[in-house]
Amino acid sequence: MPFAIPKDSYAGKINSLTFGSGDKAVTIGGENGLPFLSFESSISNRPVVALEIQDVAPSDWPDTVRKVYDGVSGSPAQWAKFCQDSLGAKIVALRLVGTHPDRENRSADDAVKTVTEVLSAVDVPVMIIGSGHIEKDAQVLKAAAEAAKGKECIIGKAQEENYRTIVTAAIANNHKIIAMSQLDVNLAKQLNILITQMGFNRENIIMDPMSSALGYGIEYTYSVMERIRQAALVQNDPMMQTPLLCDIGPNVWKTKESAAPESELPEWGSLEERGIVWESVTAATMIMAGCNLLVMRHPKAVETVNRLIGELM
């Protein structure tokens, strides 16, 4: 008797979501099976990577990744253009970290100016990510959403405490939303329900399970993502069928392995290589868990991950 590969079939399917405009628009999601199991399910769209830029110079990034953007990181528009034109980024993720009250405390008006400049500098889709400060994000992202009207951006992150303002702005200006909860499947589902109950189309939500980095509790993120995918595909839970976002840069480039100098730890080898490997491995782990959209910092790590995705597809 010939050997037959046992195959599972899944009741549910991940929503497919298109953002950006024109021929540079990007579509993610759409798969009806677990990650890369193409022998039993169809993967309509490959996971994609966005390159991160910021509204202020990245003074807190390790030198090894900061130097890649020397000469452009002082201007968000030039930085965005560099990512698109020189590094071939398919998506640019603008993090408005400078609006955080503990950082430069830039105003919503400052953010609008940056968003407008970046949007006119590139034609690839743009993601607009707040600083993570609950109250400030509500103000900043509302203004940014209005400034980006018509560009079908992804904006976020909407959290339990500020989703109302951000979702209202996304509805009014036709954007997609990142819904983030803190490593908790039940709260993730609850937030999606609440957002949907405001009249927001659930097919325009991307879920951020709160990703981590290798050595920073990545196994928790992995388990949460696995559970989300089980609910979406096996239990056919419509609230969990959104594409998944992993925003790994901030944690990866905070780990000791990506930042500790060679003079302190000569036995760990090249610092530059370490950082790139750390970001690559973190990203690879996240795509194995079902991530559809990654936000990353080092172009060499992006290259590695894109090659891996190509081999897995």
Partner 1 sequence: MIIIGERISVIARKVREAMAARDPKPLQELARQQFEKGANYIDLSIGPAEDDGPQLMDWAVKVIQEVVSAPLCLDTTNKAAMIAGLKAHNNQWGRALINSASGEEERLNNMMPLAGEYNAEIIALTLTEKGIPALAEERCEVAANIMAKAMECGVPMEDIWLDPLILPVPFQQDKCKESIRAIRLFRELNDPPMKTTVGLSNIANGAPKEMKGIITRTFLVLLMYEGLYSAIADPNDKEFMDTMKTVDVLMEKRLYAHSYLEM
Identify the CA nearest to 163 among candidates 148, 181, 186, 149: 181
Strand partners, 293: 48, 245
Minimum distance, C-beta of residue 138 to partner 1, in the bound complex (Å)? 22
CB closer to partner 1 out of 147 and 158 = 158
Pairing of strands 245-247, 293-296: parallel
Per the CB < 8 A criterion, the answer to whether 133 and 160 are in contact is no
Minimum distance, C-beta of residue 182 to partner 1, in the bound complex (Å)? 15
Work out the burial of residue 106: count CB atoms within 10 Å of its CB; fewer than 13 is exposed, 13-18 middle, 19 or more buried: buried
CA distance 27 to 112: 26
Map residues 198-227 to x or -, x wherever contact with partner 1 holds by CB under 8 A. -----------------------------x
Per the CB < 8 A criterion, the answer to whether 183 and 233 are in contact is no
Torsion, CA 101, CA 295, CA 300, CA 119, rounded to 10: -80
Per the CB < 8 A criterion, the answer to whether 37 and 282 are in contact is no
Considering the rule CB under 8 A, would residue 263 count as an interface residue with partner 1? no
Minimum distance, C-beta of residue 150 to partner 1, in the bound complex (Å)? 31
DSSP one-letter string for 260-276: S-TTT-GGG--HHHHHH
Of the residues 203, 237, 257, 303, which one makes contact with partner 1 according to CB under 8 A: 237
CB closer to partner 1 out of 129 and 167 = 167
CB closer to partner 1 out of 237 and 303 = 237
CA distance 118 to 77: 4
CB closer to partner 1 out of 186 and 263 = 186
Identify the CA nearest to 208 among candidates 138, 157, 153: 157
CB closer to partner 1 out of 56 and 244 = 244
First to last CA, the chain: 30
Of the residues 14, 111, 170, 231, which one makes contact with partner 1 according to CB under 8 A: 231
* Structural tokens at position 292: 């559809």
Minimum distance, C-beta of residue 28 to partner 1, in the bound complex (Å)? 22
Minimum distance, C-beta of residue 191 to partner 1, in the bound complex (Å)? 8
Residue range at the interface with partner 1 (CB under 8 A); choices 18-26, 120-128, 235-243, 244-252: 235-243
Minimum distance, C-beta of residue 204 to partner 1, in the bound complex (Å)? 17
User: Could you tell me how many residues make up the chain?
Assistant: 313
CA distance 313 to 309: 6
How many residues lie near partner 1 (CB under 8 A)? 15
**Cα angle at 276 between 275 and 280, to 5 degrees?**
120
Minimum distance, C-beta of residue 308 to partner 1, in the bound complex (Å)? 30
Q: Which residues from 176-195 bind partner 1, rule CB under 8 A?
A: 185-187, 189-190, 193-194
Of the residues 118, 239, 287, 293, which one makes contact with partner 1 according to CB under 8 A: 239
Of the residues 89, 166, 240, 281, which one makes contact with partner 1 according to CB under 8 A: 240
Strand partners, 92: 51, 126
Of the residues 238, 254, 260, 303, which one makes contact with partner 1 according to CB under 8 A: 238
CB closer to partner 1 out of 83 and 232 = 232
Q: Which residues bind partner 1 (CB under 8 A)?
A: 185-187, 189-190, 193-194, 197, 227, 231, 235, 237-240
